[in-house]
Amino acid sequence: MDTTTATPTLNYLNNGYGLKSWLLTKDHKRIALLYLWSITAFFFLGGFFALVIRLELLTPAADLVQPDTYNKMFTMHGVVMVFFFLIPSIPAVLGNFLLPIMIGAKDLAFPRINLLSWYIYVLGGLFTVAAAITGGVDTGWTFYAPYSTSASNSNVILAGVGIFITGFSSILTGLNFIVTVHRMRAPGLTWFRLPLFVWAHYATSLIMILGTPVIAITVLLVAAERGLHLGIFDPALGGDPILFQHLFWFYSHPAVYIMILPAMGVVAELVQAFSRKNIFGYTFVAFSSLAIAIIGFLVWGHHLFVAGQSTYAGLVFSIISMFVAIPSAVKVFNWTATIYKGSVSWDSPMLYAFGFIGLFTIGGLTGLFLATLGMDIHMHDTYFIIAHFHYVMVGGAIFGYLGGMHYWWPKITGRMYPEGWAKFACLNIFVGFNLTFGPQFIVGYLGMPRRYAMYSPEFQVWNVLSTAGATILGVGYLIPMIYFTWSLKNAPLAGANPWGARGLEWETPSPPPTENFAVTPVVTEGTHQYAPSREVGIV
Amino acid sequence: MFTNFPFFPQAASEQAGQIDALYFFLVAVTAFFTALIAILVAVFAVKFRRKHDTEVGEAIHGSLALELLWTIIPLGITMVMFVWGAQVFFHMTRPPKGAMEIYVVGKQWMWKAQHMDGAREINELHVPIGRPVKLIMGSEDVIHSFFIPEFRVKADVIPGRLNTMWFTATKPGRYHLFCTQYCGTKHSAMIGWVTAMEPAEYEAWLGGGGAGGTMADAGAKLFQDLACATCHLDNGQGRGPVLKGVYGKPVTLQTGQTVTVDDAYIRESILMPQAKVVAGFQPIMPTFQGLVTEEQLLQLIAYVKSLGDPQGATK
Amino acid sequence: MSGHVAPKSMYYAVFAALMIGTALTVLVAFYDLGPLNNVLMLGIAMTKAALVVLFFMHVRWSTRLTWVVAASGFVWLLILFGLTMMDYLSRGMVPGTWR
Amino acid sequence: MSDAPSSYQPPPVAIHPAPVVEHAHHPWLQHHFDNMEQQAEASTLGMWVFLVTEIMFFGGLFMAYLVYRHASPSGFQEASHHLNIYWGAANTAILIVSSLTMALAVRAAQTSQSAKTQVGWLLATMAFGAAFLGIKAIEYYDKFRDHIVPGPNFQWEGAYPKPAEQFYSLYFAMTGLHALHMVIGLGIMTVIAIMAWRKTFDEEYYTPVEVAGLYWHFVDIVWIFLFPLLYLIGRHYHAG
């Protein structure tokens, strides 16, 4: 490949330069970049809140910030990271950019709705930022009633409206993906030839459309209860706070699969591309995404084991929660088996994939502690939970997101990035991450409750380690920002297929033209076959 | 020992040993599979690393045998976790009969405990060792959660209803008491100490408190003050049901259903008298919602309970 | 473009059935039939909804995908109702506890 | 270090045919669809998926209804008794008629009938929708007059004031959200009617009418459930 060739004369980036050509674009690739900028802003906003939290927890007393401020910090950290970063991160950026290209379509089925969903996201974000600026919210991202409906005197309604609005952005994205996958696939691209990235996003979209409306109505009811004194959740008004928890977790548990499933899809692509080998057990990996999405809707009650839910309900939710582990385990084993007899390169995206597999394994297995009824009694609402879900959300979702950003960066921008720096940043993030959240498992079992501005002195040593790790982690996040920006002008051109990978997205120029493909391609085989087929076992 | 690097909380209750055993099993499973995956990934990544730029991997499509293997083995292991965890859970949610009862009320931001014989304490809880203790808990405002890490027990304290938990302390000492359900500004200050004492010491400590009489006495006074006694007569001629001897017994409702008179039912009947009316009576009792505090409710419950058991409720 | 065109008479027939269902459900509501009231009320409502979905919304002539999508909404609603009510209906079923 | 792209280029997974001269296509075909059929199927599927989210959206409220009715069946009956069953039944009938006219509007477009006929059915649908909202407004007014709007001014004479207030909380939340959907529906119908007037729709292209119809029928279905659950449960209730 001749890397000195200039970028193709017309691509989606140079097809119009004005502000209007971006803000009114219907091109899924440009919308993906609009999302990229906005979620990056929210990521660093959420990161700032995390920084304040970690610095405050350096000492047992509330000395850096008052408990009131601390409570607002962890609330805003959760709200921003969950609703404005993790949920839209991979689907709205990488999914938006790649899904149509991967299935050989010119765009998503509803380009205008796609743009609308970004504006809705921004509007919801503005509400939430307004809530943060005008005094903050102190309910925790879970908005548990009756604290949120009656006791808190912070900006619950404003933040709730922000989340309500943003929910529709998520719904519209999911709707667009589902219709696109069903109706826009290129000729020859059968369901079992689809890239696993597409399967994962399809499963994610199912959760988005089936779960998000329930959280929307729930936060709306919280706002109505605060504003109009409707008695829905507050016992003092005749309501039932457990009902809030049921409605909240009906969405918010599956929502964690919105965050992790797309990352699993990314990792499946990375493992195949950098082993130059088709996935081991394609159908099992594909269906495990659907299984996670569906079973994920049946397990929410494991958040209510100590909340006064009935004992029998606890049993049912516990055993179904165990079942979610099975498709997750199937995925991990299949990714591992894919590397076997591959041609493994150690490029930075693959390092993120290695990190993902290991950290997700820990995150997933520690989740079983919490699904185990007796164990959860002790661990519920301690730092063990914090550690567990950060292993899944950061070690899983963010590692997947960063791995994907590195893998597809040449496709998105047409340029490579400095590989040495990328490897360094990856290592930095891996070390910083483990140092931040590893100690929290221990301090959690010791009994340190979450959401504590002040804590007992015997927990301090672990908190100091955690804060030290967070500092390293924070630096690790900044490095890619710098070299990605630098690469836009200075890095070598990538060409259409810099990794020697297979898949439709590598058969169009980098950056792709606005129409993706001049003519709709006709797919002739599964998208990840590298070597001639050799039958071992079954497909 | 690692005094500066504590790894495990003390085990100071009968339950703690069960939880720890389960914990070590789960840690072992986690360590084994994490190591397995990490080693496999590392070995494959090194052994099969790319030798030249045009090399591709072998085409292997999969293996049904392996897929079944790594479906069934995790399924088996998780089922062990489920059954084991459920056993522990059942044990922990069912207080043994005859457990010593203590009433606890959570409010922003303190824990108030009331012993049956009237001793009261704030952000402190004194319990004897070697004897099951059942906490009957209510909240005056938002959801709190009562957590004693050294005992490995926890339960949410929910406004509008009562919740229970129980433990048997085994080791004398002072242990942390934390609120673990986020409840507002001073959530992290809603902490206290649980003191486990030798039974004799505990009796001595009790003797020092309880100036205002037993909880049932306080409840009896409220029963008069709130004019409950004008309808709930002992002779069966009143407009409300006789309460003597009713605790722990089933009663038939207007709807034909039967409920057992327990703490939760008494509480509901005081606050929502119309919800479950006893057969043969009119739904004329006014609600006492907003007129009695959570603590007074618990005193009234203790009083009704003492009527049901002439020997006294603490036995 | 081709879509199924149903005869006008069919629309009027479905309309008549919906009106009769409405009259019936109002009529039944005036009699105390115990639990049967709820069964009839919801049975009639579901029948009416099914008529609208199948005929007015053309699902009767749609692809299997449309059937699946339409059904999935109701299935997920049942998941929400079913698992939540499982909690409420089994409260206190373990002796000696209130949960 | 692999700053530079790999020299290995695997074979493509698809055939990329050479560009051909574009055929003339339907003026309403968007560029990213291959043909009208694909466009129509995508649009109807999109609306169905959206309706599924709507089911779940209302589902949260129905869930709350179920829990609170389970908690206080008599209280809900007593509260429901105060609603006017005749207004409710009339509104049910009105919505069913509007669904019929909507279905006929879609049929008129499907069969390439005149713009006048199409617009006629659409206007009829809108008229019945407006009538529904008018009756709803009268009912709401009655509730304000009788002080049974939840909040500090809520007054209830019966035996179950708390459950009654909860019932009316849900009543206003559910019917209010439903009415909002009706208002949105009227807005959509206005656009569709204007398009129809401009002779946009015929047997070749009638997707917007069909999709709007799906939405309208869905709103009707929600009411089909709201009516019995809110209005009918208290009819045979005798206080005391």
Whether residue A330 lies within 8 A of chain B, CB to CB, comes out as yes
Which DSSP helix (H) or strand (E) runs through B177?
A: strand B173-179
Q: Which chains touch D (3 or more CB pairs under 8 A)?
A: A, B, C
| Residue ranges making up the domain that contains B120 | 1-40+95-211
Percent above pLDDT 70 for chain D: 96
**For residue D232, which residues of chain C lie inside 8 Å, CB to CB?**
25-26, 29, 41
Contact D6 B53 (CB under 8 A): yes
Please give the residue of chain D at the shortest CA–CA distance from A229: D151
Q: End of a domain among B179, B211, B243?
A: B211
Residue B226: pLDDT above 80? yes
Give tens-digit pLDDT for B139-185: 999 999 999 999 999 999 999 888 899 999 999 999 999 999 999 99
Q: Are A504 and A104 in contact (CB under 8 A)?
A: yes
What DSSP designation does B239 have? S
pLDDT confidence bin for B85, thresholds 50/70/90:
very high
Q: Where are the domains of chain C?
A: 1-62, 63-99
Whether B220 and B244 map to the same domain: the answer is yes
Beta bridge partners of B120: B114
Q: What is the rounded CA–CA span in Å between residue B196 and residue B174?
A: 6
Query: Are the CB atoms for D177 and D58 separated by under 8 Å?
Result: yes
Q: How far apart are CA D166 and CA A236, in angstroms?
A: 12
Mean pLDDT for the stretch of residues A514-531: 87
Contact partners for chain B, using 3 or more CB pairs closer than 8 A, are A, C, D
Cα four-point dihedral sign D234, D237, D239, D240: negative
Q: Is the pLDDT of residue A401 over 70?
A: yes
Task: State the Cα–Cα distance between residues B53 and A402, nearest whole angstrom.
Answer: 24
* Inter-chain CB proximity B60 and A536 less than 8 Å: yes
**Whether B190 and B111 share a structural domain:** yes
- Using pLDDT thresholds of 50, 70 and 90, give the confidence band for residue D135: very high
Chain B CB contacts of C96 below 8 Å: 94-95, 97
Q: Of B67-76, C16-25, D72-81, D118-127, which range is least confident?
A: D72-81
Residue A174 has pLDDT above 50, yes or no: yes
Domain ranges within chain A, ordered by starting residue? 24-507
Chain C nearest-CA distance from D54, in A, is: 9
At A431-451, the pLDDT tens digits run: 999 999 999 999 999 999 999
Asked if pLDDT for residue B310 goes beyond 50, the answer is: no
Looking at the fold, whether B294 and B267 belong to one and the same domain comes out as yes
Judging by DSSP bridges, how do beta strands B100-107 and A522-523 pair with one another?
unpaired
Clarify whether residues B156 and B246 are in a common domain.
Answer: no
Q: CB C83 to CB A301 under 8 A?
A: yes
Which one-letter amino acid corresponds to residue C88? Y
- Whether residue B112 lies inside any domain: the answer is yes
Q: Flag if A329 and B71 touch (Cβ within 8 Å).
A: yes
pLDDT, position B268: 83
Please provide the average confidence, as pLDDT, over all residues in chain B: 87
| End-of-domain residue from the set B211, B235, B267 | B211
* Binary contact (C22, D210; C-beta < 8 A): no
Determine what percent of chain A is predicted with pLDDT higher than 70. Answer: 97
Instruction: Determine the Cα–Cα distance for residues A375 and B7; give it in Å rounded to an integer.
Output: 17
Q: Which burial class, exposed, middle or buried, applies to A256 when counting CB atoms under 10 A from its CB (0-12, 13-18, 19+)? A: buried
Predicted local distance difference test score (pLDDT) of residue B287: 80
Q: What value does the mean pLDDT take over residues A28-32?
A: 96
Indicate left, alpha or beta for B138 from its phi (over 0: left) and psi (-120 to 50: alpha): beta
Taken in order of first residue, the domains within chain D and their CATH numbers are 37-232 (1.20.120.80)
- Burial letters for B228-249: b for 16+ Cβ neighbours within 10 Å, e otherwise? beeebeeeeebebbebeebbee
The answer to whether D162 and D99 have CB atoms below 8 angstroms apart is: no
The pLDDT score that the predictor gives to residue A438 is: 95
Residue B198 lies in a domain: yes
Report the SS3 class of residue B125.
Answer: strand
- φ and ψ of B100, to 5 deg: -70, 130
Contacts of A246 in chain C (CB under 8 A): 84, 87
* Residues 6 or more apart whose Cβ sits within 8 Å of residue B312: B214, B216, B306
Which amino acid makes up residue A312? Answer: Y
* Strand-strand pairing, B100-107 and B132-139: parallel
Q: What is the pLDDT of residue B313?
A: 40
Number of folded domains in chain B? 2
Q: Are A374 and B92 in contact (CB under 8 A)?
A: yes
Residue B294: what pLDDT? 82
pLDDT of residue D187: 97
Which ranges constitute the DSSP H helices of B187-282? 199-208, 215-225, 263-271
A105: pLDDT strictly greater than 50: yes
Q: Judge contact between A174 and A213, C-beta under 8 A.
A: no
With contacts defined as CB-CB under 8 Å, which chain B residues touch D10?
A: 56
pLDDT value at A2 more than 70:
no
Mean pLDDT throughout A48-76?
Answer: 94
State the pLDDT confidence band at B243, using cuts at 50, 70 and 90. Answer: confident
- Local confidence band at C95 (pLDDT 50, 70, 90 cut-offs): low
pLDDT computed for residue B225 by the predictor: 85
* CB proximity list for B279: less than 8 A, separation 6 or greater: B251, B252, B253, B254, B256
Most confident of A235-244, B223-232, D157-166: A235-244
Query: Is C52 in CB contact (< 8 Å) with chain D?
Result: yes
Average pLDDT over residues A302-321: 93
A145 touches chain D (CB under 8 A): no
Output the 3-class SS for D72-124: CHHHHHHHHHCCCHHHHHHHHHHHHHHHHHHHHHHHHHHCCCCHHHHHHHHHH
Under an 8 A CB cutoff, do A452 and B150 touch? no
Query: D75 vs B274: CB contact, 8 Å cut-off?
Result: yes
Single out the residue of B161, B121, B295, B160 nearest to residue B219, CA to CA: B295
- Asked whether residue B227 falls in the same domain as residue B199, the answer is no
Three-state helix/strand/coil letters over A217-281:
HHHHHHHHHHHHCCCCCCHHHCCCHHHHHHHHHHHHHHHHHHHHHHHHHHHHHHHHHHHCCCCCC
Q: Angle at the Cα of A308 (from A302 to A310), degrees rounded to 5? A: 75
Is the pLDDT assigned to residue B1 strictly greater than 70? no
Of B211, B230, B250, the domain-final residue: B211
Amino acid, res. A50: A
Query: B-chain residues within 8 Å CB-CB of D72?
Result: 275
Nearest CA among C66, C28, A378 for reference residue D210: C66
- Of C97 and A16, which is predicted with more confidence? A16
Q: Which residue of D has its CA nearest to B52?
A: D8
Q: Tokens 């709707």 correspond to what residue?
A: A175
Q: B269 and B188 in one domain?
A: no
Q: Which of B54, B274, B289 sits opposite D8 (nearest CB)?
A: B54
Query: CB contact, 8 Å: C16 with chain D?
Result: no
CB under 8 Å to D34, separation ≥6 — which residues? A520
Q: Kindly list the partner chains of chain C, i.e. chains with 3 or more CB atom pairs below 8 Å.
A: A, B, D
pLDDT of residue A441: 96
Query: Chains C, D: CB contacts under 8 A, how many?
Result: 135
Q: Which residue of D has its CA nearest to C67?
A: D48
The whole-number pLDDT of residue A79 equals 96
**Residues making up chain B, counted from first to last:** 315
Name the phi and psi angles at B96, rounded to 5.
Answer: -65, 150
The phi and psi torsions of A23 (rounded to 5 degrees) equal -75, -20
Give the pLDDT of residue A3.
Answer: 45
Cβ–Cβ under 8 Å, residues A379 and A64: no
∠ CA D220-D226-D227 to the nearest 5 degrees? Answer: 90
**Interface predicted TM-score of the whole assembly (ipTM), two decimals:** 0.91
Q: Hey, is the C-beta of D61 within 8 angstroms of any chain C C-beta?
A: no
pLDDT higher than 80, residue B290: no
Look at residue A72 in the predicted model and tell me its pLDDT.
95
**Residue range A119-129: average pLDDT?**
96
- CA distance linking residue A107 with residue A109, whole number of Å: 6
How would you classify residue A324: left for phi > 0, otherwise alpha for psi between -120 and 50, otherwise beta? alpha
Rank B260-269, C1-10, D182-191 by mean pLDDT and report only the highest.
Answer: D182-191
What is each CA distance from A122 to A85, A413, B164, in whole angstroms? Answer: 12, 24, 45
Give contacts of A 235-294 with B, CB under 8 A: 235-236, 240-242, 275-278, 280-284
Going by pLDDT thresholds of 50, 70 and 90, the confidence category of residue D238 is low
Which residues, at least 6 apart from B290, have a Cβ–Cβ distance to it below 8 Å?
none
| Residue A246 near chain C (CB below 8 Å) | yes
Does any domain span residue B293?
A: yes
Q: What value does the mean pLDDT take over residues B126-143?
A: 93
Asked if pLDDT for residue A198 goes beyond 80, the answer is yes
Q: What CA–CA distance (Å, rounded) separates A125 from C55? A: 42
pLDDT of residue C97: 65
Residues D88, D230: contact at Cβ < 8 Å? yes
Weakest-pLDDT range from A308-322, A441-455, D10-24: D10-24
Higher local confidence (pLDDT), B292 or B37: B37
DSSP B157: E
Is D9 in contact with A345 (Cβ distance < 8 A)? Answer: no
Number of inter-chain CB pairs under 8 A, B vs D: 20
Q: What is the pLDDT of residues C50-94, one digit of tens each?
A: 999 999 999 999 889 999 999 999 999 999 999 999 999 998 777
β pairing state of B132-139 and B144-148: unpaired
Least CB–CB distance from A537: residue in B51, B61, B179: B61
Q: Which residue has the higher pLDDT, B295 or A103?
A: A103
Residue A323, pLDDT above cutoff 70:
yes
Q: Are A141 and A79 in contact (CB under 8 A)?
A: yes
Give the Cα separation of A115 and A489 in Å (integer).
Answer: 27
Taking an 8 Å cut-off on Cβ atoms, the answer to whether C92 and A310 are in contact is yes
Q: Shortest CB distance from C84 goes to which of A182, A246, A308?
A: A246
The predicted pLDDT at position B212 comes to 65
C 15-54 → A contacts, CB under 8 A:
none
Residue D144 host element (H or E): helix D115-145
Whole-angstrom distance, CA of residue D103 vs CA of residue D50 = 19
Q: How does the average pLDDT of chain A come out, rounded?
A: 93
What is the Cβ-side half-sphere exposure of residue B82, based on CA atoms within 13 angstroms? 19
Contact (Cβ atoms closer than 8 angstroms) between residue A391 and residue A359: yes
Comparing alpha-carbon positions, the chain B residue that sits nearest to A283 is B62
Q: Is A442 an 8 Å CB contact of chain B?
A: yes
For residue B138, the SS3 value is strand
Would the pLDDT of D175 be above 90?
A: yes
- A311 close to B (CB below 8 A): yes
**pLDDT band with cut points at 50, 70 and 90 for residue A525:** confident
What pLDDT sits at residue C5?
85
- B200 and B99 share one domain: yes
Same domain, B267 and B122: no
Per the model's pLDDT, the better-predicted residue between A334 and A538 turns out to be A334
How confident is the model over B182-191, as pLDDT tens digits?
Answer: 999 999 999 9
- What is the model's pLDDT at position C1? 44
| Residue in D with minimal Cα distance to A523 | D14
B132 and B31 in a single domain? The answer is yes
Please state, as a whole number, how many other Cβ atoms lie within 10 Å of the Cβ of residue B147. 27
Report how far residue B92's alpha carbon sits from residue C96's, in angstroms, rounded to the nearest whole number.
11
Query: For A195-209, A242-256, B117-131, which range has the lowest pLDDT when averaged over its residues?
Result: B117-131
Mapping DSSP to helix (H, G, I), strand (E, B) and coil, where does residue B194 land? strand
- A24-507 folds as Cytochrome C Oxidase; Chain A (1.20.210)
Measured between CA atoms, the residue of chain A closest to residue B86 is A373
User: Average of pLDDT values for B43-55?
Assistant: 92
Q: What is the pTM of this model?
A: 0.93
Measured CA to CA, the distance from residue A42 to residue A48 in angstroms comes to 10
What CATH number is associated with residue B170? 2.60.40.420
Residues 240-299 of B with CB under 8 A from A: none
Residues on chain C touching B155 (C-beta within 8 angstroms): none
pLDDT band with cut points at 50, 70 and 90 for residue D52 = very high
Chain D residues in contact with A274 (beta carbon < 8 A): none
Residue A304 pLDDT: 94
Q: Report pLDDT for B251.
A: 85
Instruction: Decide: A91 and A11 in contact? Cβ < 8 Å.
Output: no
